[in-house]
Amino acid sequence: MLNTFQQADHPALPKASADEAARQEFTKSFKGFIQSTLLPGLTPVYQTRVAKRFEKEHGRPPADRRDIRSGMVNDIYFQHYAAANRIAQELLWESVNGSIDRQLPELIAKARELSAAAKAELVIPEGFVPPRYVTALDIHCMPGGYCSEVAADDISVGALYDRGVYLYAMGYTGPNNDDMGRSVVNYLKHHAPDFKPRRILDMGCTVGHSTLPYKELFPDAEVWGIDVGGPCIRYAHARAAGFGLEVNFAQMNAEETTFPDEHFDLVVSHILLHETSGKAMPRIFAEAHRVLAPGGMMIHADLPPFDLMDPFTQFILDNETWYNNEPFWGAMRDMDQFALAQKAGFDLADVKFDTAPMAVMEFAAAAEGYSQEASEAVAERDFTAGEFAPGGGWEVLIARKPLDKALAA
Amino acid sequence: MSGIDMTEAERPHVIRHARGKRPQFYDTPGMDQAMSMIMVLANEMAVLRDRLDSAERVAKASGLDLAAGIEALELDQAALEEREERRQDFMRRLSTCN
């Protein structure tokens, strides 16, 4: 199936020249090629060469992902696969960065203009210090990370994330990069049709990709997106305004927000937790519990735990930890999220993992490059380790705060 | 100050390199850098091919201002598919190692 998915334009998005667009399109193709053609070669290489060599050397078969990795890193096929992945990531950011650099003052001016015309709040506190796990290195090799500023009112890394993530996901998350949020909202509409959140908080929202569907599908709710990256928050606010959606954004740490107790009916996050730390994750769960009203729900859409997978699958997935500046990626999958939720104050009986089916099919009719057939192919794949986006849907951790908790206390 | 009022020297620039140690994949010294260079070349070759493709399409359609035509060119579904097919074929030929 040819992937011709195209990102939808919006007023805050950087505009690419013909050559810039071709450069970017190549990186998307390269990622697709690695996934469709190089990735499937790893299993036979492991089975026919690496596992046998390991057994010969150690007198036993590889037992876990560390054993598998210790053998695979010496194999030339794996070296090419891993190097190609890393280079694709670097080319991807560079292809977008060059385009943003050319038009940065104009993009900043445009974002300022969009934000100024919006009614929704934009909160950037003076002297905010982002946590070290975000600034110590540039997560997923994105130059500048989420927080760097190179100009007044800078939005550059926000713009970089918006376009770069589209290429990274190869369009699998839809023309507006919003499949995760859209899928969780669909899940709620299906499983909790009477749930009408008055206030919604999206933690670690970056540029608001997943935040906006909540406003779209719960138009009467007050929606807040928070993130530690100032340029991301500014860009998110301008982007939402460009879509005509009234969503509030604030630069804030999900470990310690400034919202009052029991303020929100729904607290969500999307691919946030694996970019935090072993110390921050329990604090984020506790903070979500604190700001949730009785009867409210906490939903984290992130990576499924390792204990559900075989060692070879774990090994493939853990490549992100080793090669893509994702230091917490593997460790997060070893965390006991039930225990974390319980420690945060939730009852174990009110906590579960479930799958929110991908909403990508909804895009098929309207969006450029999204044929019905290709969208179906993305949504209905089986899970394959190392492919972007799980087949079947997104793994979600759901915890509900009981209604009677307030009465009992 | 908006972008229009800025001189070239005054314009801000984005950060081009990611913080964090770059892993080494190959045993042979210099191989990692060589692979990166090869893929940058491959990328640029694809850009050129795309540009030529655009030029031909524009010329065929109008025979008018090619440069302006290329910037304004909208790829239709068929064109997107042709390009993607060509890129995938190119990478199949490039990736001969196993």
CA distance B59 to chain A (A): 15
Q: Where are the domains of chain B?
A: 50-98
Q: Domain map of chain A by residue range?
A: 18-120+134-159, 173-408
Pairwise CB contact (< 8 Å): B98 & A77: yes
| The architecture CATH gives domain A173-408 | 3-Layer(aba) Sandwich (3.40)
Q: Which residue of B has its CA nearest to A102?
A: B13
Q: Please check whether residue A304 is in contact with residue A393, taking contact to mean a CB–CB distance below 8 angstroms.
A: no
- Report how far residue A188's alpha carbon sits from residue A325's, in angstroms, rounded to the nearest whole number: 33
A60-111 residue pLDDT tens: 999 999 999 999 999 999 999 999 999 999 999 999 999 999 999 999 999 9
With 70 as the cut, is the pLDDT of residue A405 above it?
A: no
Q: Do B50 and A25 touch (CB under 8 A)?
A: yes
What are phi and psi for residue A37, nearest 5 degrees?
A: -120, -40
Q: Per-residue DSSP letters for B33-78?
A: HHHHHHHHHHHHHHHHHHHHHHHHHHHHHTSS-HHHHHHH----HH
Whether this model's ipTM surpasses 0.85 comes out as no
In this complex, is the C-beta atom of B54 within 8 Å of any C-beta atom belonging to chain A? Answer: yes
Asked if B26's CB is within 8 angstroms of A33's CB, the reply is no
| Mean pLDDT calculated for residue range B72-86 | 92
Residues of chain A neighbouring B88 (CB-CB closer than 8 A): 2, 29, 32-33, 36-37
Percent of chain B with pLDDT over 70: 86
State yes or no: pLDDT of A409 exceeds 50. no
- Distance of alpha carbon A20 from alpha carbon A98, whole angstroms: 8
How far apart CA A317 and CA A315 sit, in angstroms, is: 6
For the cut 90, the answer to whether the pLDDT of residue A263 exceeds it is yes
Above 70 in pLDDT, residue A194? yes
Q: Are A179 and A172 in contact (CB under 8 A)?
A: yes
Judge whether A14 and A116 are in contact, CB under 8 Å. Answer: no
Query: Sign of dihedral through CA atoms A98, A104, A106, A110?
Result: positive
Inter-chain touch A137–B20, beta carbons under 8 Å? yes
Q: How confident is the model at residue A393 (pLDDT cuts 50, 70, 90)?
A: confident
First to last CA, chain A: 57
